[in-house]
Structure 1
Amino acid sequence: MWDEIAVETPTDELPVPRPEVLAAIDALAARGVLSSLASRSAPTVLDRMDAVPGLRERFLAPQVSWQDKSESLRRIAKDLGIAVEALVLIDDSPYERAEVEALLPGVRTLDPGEVPALLAAFEDREVTPESRERVRRYRTEETRRAEGERFQGTREEFLRWCDMRLTVGPAVAEEVPRALELAARTHRLNSSGLTPDRLRALAAADGHELYTARMSDRFGEYGIIGAALVDRTARGSWSVPLLALSCRVAGRGAAAAFLFWLMERARESGAEDFRVTLRPTDANLEMRILLRQAGLRRTEADDSADGSTAGDDGAVLARTLDSGGGGGGLPKPPAWLHVFTRKDADA
């Protein structure tokens, strides 16, 4: 951030930040890349940053303490609700980079001199509206978390107070890039890890439909937080090669509500059974539990030509959609989450 050492300045004023560093942070933010701080320094440095207009607000979940940077990165990932492996550490100290490489081998580390190449790598990538809004939405999430900590009541009461709304419907053309992004970026709430290229091809194929889910609450818009590809080529059956949701909505019932909406729509269309492709990973345990709670069980299925079944050590989970369904009817979304079909929400 600067050439001097903040805690060694003779006054309370911070050293002047390097303009090229601030420019890089802003350029990455415009492409949906979040910035944080992992600084081995006195915690008071963070307080002093608040006095510099426009500086503190560039960073989400900053960690300023005397702890090892590997521990700071773990805390940043936890606060943001993302995988540690999604982080990149930029540090001018070979020692600090080595410490993180040794303890967090999934984290990429860079010398500041490599930042221009990092920026160049994003130049040709498509930037979705959700990407451009990602920093602001994570800031809104910080507000939600703070309000939740202050709320006097149960977790369910807080969720009801948030007035959360999920709007689901067929994807329109401008939503497809975000669906591809969810397929590539999500891990915790991703059923199959279908690649963006494969998703794009299947979504354009006959008999397939792409659905998206948007979410909002009293704090603001989450944007498009879910995508599902439905294969209706088999008579009497709905097959879902991909169900993916943003980790930002984990623990709020959105994944369950989206899944249950799809199941109900399948039954209304006359389908007799409902199938989801699942490829178990170390990260998607939450999705696996959800599918089981929804009554889906593993079934034997051969790989199909369109790739809609699992293969590659995956599985197809299925359940019938009659009133019994093997489990007393279709499940309902959480009581605190209001679910709308897009045409209803637009009415």
Structure 2
Amino acid sequence: MSVTEGFDPDGVKCVVWDLDGTLWDEIAVESATDDLPTPRPAALAAIDALAARGVLSSIASRSAPSVLDRLDAVPEVRARFLAPQVSWQDKSESLRRIAKDLGIAVDALVLVDDSPYERAEVEALLPGVRTLAPQDVPALLAAFEGREVTAESRERVRRYRTEETRKAEGERFEGSREEFLRWCDMRLTIGAATADEIPRALELAARTHRLNSSGLTPDRLRELASSDGHELYTARMTDRFGEYGIIGAALVDRTHRTDRGTPAAWSVPLLALSCRVAGRGAAAAFLFRLMERAREAGAEEFRVTLRPTDANLEMRILLRQAGLRRTDDTDTETATGTAAATAADSAVLGRTLQGDLPGSPAWLHVSDREETEA
């Protein structure tokens, strides 16, 4: 059986590499000098190929922490890795820390390690993590062949590096968290998706889990986005450190209309945001601005299709804070294609658009793309 049988490349956000016997041949702590072993060219080439497809790389090595200090002295190698962990702790714990530092789910990691024991330990304690031996890496790369690579994917590693700078500045900042967020000068722009933004919206639908309302498949999203009465919105964000790129996508269904011809409701079969903006208020700001736009268009109600999962608790809390509650309308056909197939695990949450609507966080500047392009 192939090591990648049943493997979903869309679910992989970071490949974690062991060092001794995996990234290089020797054991670093046994080196007679401070020089690190020479990395295997094939391993570096694989890391670069993954980065070109938007897949991050990190390190989990059971070794002396001083090895990481020595790696810092080799910037051309160290620059390939984010949130590296080098210590005597269990590999499973290292992987948990990497996922936390990167703000991604542990199940979005793949471990490459030459030790059957280390792979077994991770498989036992983190059953959602795929583990591979170094000789399996070509099969891993082959699993990504032929898949569309967006501009956002190609920039992902650089943007995570920018996030490391942002995080370091936050740790040095003398003031409250909110004061730091204000200082960052974050700006969110929202508008109808352009043709070149659609691939990134499909990618968000496939790859996001924490901030994903329904898990709508990319194929179904593409189909609905091109159908009458539907529109796809995207959100972009920047701050003083640089561009986040497209961090959110929302599909809006406006087919339900009143006798006056205005939309009776804006229904959102999918709301998905990148985990990179978690904790910054962008998800709330995107949702709240969509609600405002719905009211400006004459809609009387706002609805979101929710499929609760173990991963999207953050999204469920956001929807509740926005005042959305389960409605009696269980027609999820718009979101899924067959209402009967998903009625058991999906719900429609709704709220009136009359009265006061929640406001975006004070530290975030929100505007419509039409305004910024005027």
Same fold at TM > 0.5 = yes
Task: Please point out which of 337, 348, 359 is paired with 1:316.
Answer: 348
SS in structure 2 at match of 1:38:
strand
Equivalent position of 1:332 in the other structure:
359
Percent identical among aligned pairs is 82
SS in structure 2 at match of 1:76:
helix
Equivalent position of 2:29 in the other structure:
7
SS in structure 1 at match of 2:171:
helix
1:35 paired with 2:62, answer: no
Q: Higher mean Cα deviation, 156-165 or 43-52?
A: 43-52
Task: Please point out which of 246, 253, 263 is paired with 1:224.
Answer: 246
Task: Please point out which of 262, 273, 276 is paired with 2:290.
Answer: 262
User: Would you identify which runs of 4 or more consecutive aligned residues in structure 1 move more than 4 Å?
Assistant: none
Q: Distance in 2 between matches of 1:45 and 1:77?
A: 21
Q: Distance in 1 between matches of 2:275 and 2:72?
A: 29
Q: Distance in 2 between matches of 1:165 and 1:302?
A: 36
**1:304 Cα shift?**
5.1
CA distances 1:280-307 after superposition (whole Å, capped 9, x unpaired): 1111111111111111111011325433
SS in structure 2 at match of 1:283:
coil
Q: Which amino acid aligns with 1:167?
A: T
**1:322 Cα shift?**
1.4
Q: How does 1:120-159 map to 2 (within 5 A)?
A: 120-159=142-181
1:345 paired with 2:372, answer: yes
Task: Please point out which of 72, 86, 97 is paired with 1:75.
Answer: 97
CA distances 1:118-163 after superposition (whole Å, capped 9, x unpaired): 1111110100111000000000111111111111111100000000
**1:330 Cα shift?**
0.6
Q: Distance in 1 between matches of 2:32 and 2:349?
A: 65
**1:51 Cα shift?**
1.8
Q: Distance in 2 between matches of 1:264 and 1:156?
A: 24
Equivalent position of 1:19 in the other structure:
41
Change (3 A) 1:47 1:233: same
CA distances 1:37-73 after superposition (whole Å, capped 9, x unpaired): 0001111111111222401010000000011111100
Unaligned residue ranges in structure 1 (runs of 5+): 324-328
Q: Distance in 1 between matches of 2:333 and 2:316?
A: 25
Equivalent position of 1:242 in the other structure:
270
Q: Is the 8 A contact 2:332 2:348 kept in 1?
A: no
Q: Distance in 2 between matches of 1:51 and 1:294?
A: 48
SS in structure 1 at match of 2:57:
coil
Q: Distance in 2 between matches of 1:239 and 1:53?
A: 49
Q: Higher mean Cα deviation, 47-56 or 262-271?
A: 47-56
Q: Distance in 2 between matches of 1:25 and 1:38?
A: 15
Task: Please point out which of 103, 106, 111 is paired with 1:84.
Answer: 106
Equivalent position of 2:72 in the other structure:
50
Task: Please point out which of 300, 316, 323 is paired with 1:295.
Answer: 323
Equivalent position of 1:326 in the other structure:
none
Q: Which amino acid aligns with 1:332?
A: G
Q: Higher mean Cα deviation, 199-208 or 49-58?
A: 49-58
Q: How does 1:186-197 map to 2 (within 5 A)?
A: 186-197=208-219
SS in structure 1 at match of 2:58:
coil
SS in structure 2 at match of 1:45:
helix
Q: How many residues align?
A: 342
**1:256 Cα shift?**
0.5
**1:250 Cα shift?**
0.5
Q: Which amino acid aligns with 1:344?
A: E
CA distances 1:216-237 after superposition (whole Å, capped 9, x unpaired): 0000000000000000000111
Q: Which amino acid aligns with 2:352?
A: T
1:277 paired with 2:299, answer: no
SS in structure 1 at match of 2:227:
coil
Q: Is the 8 A contact 2:200 2:246 kept in 1?
A: yes
CA RMSD of aligned residues (A): 1.1
Q: Higher mean Cα deviation, 305-314 or 84-93?
A: 305-314
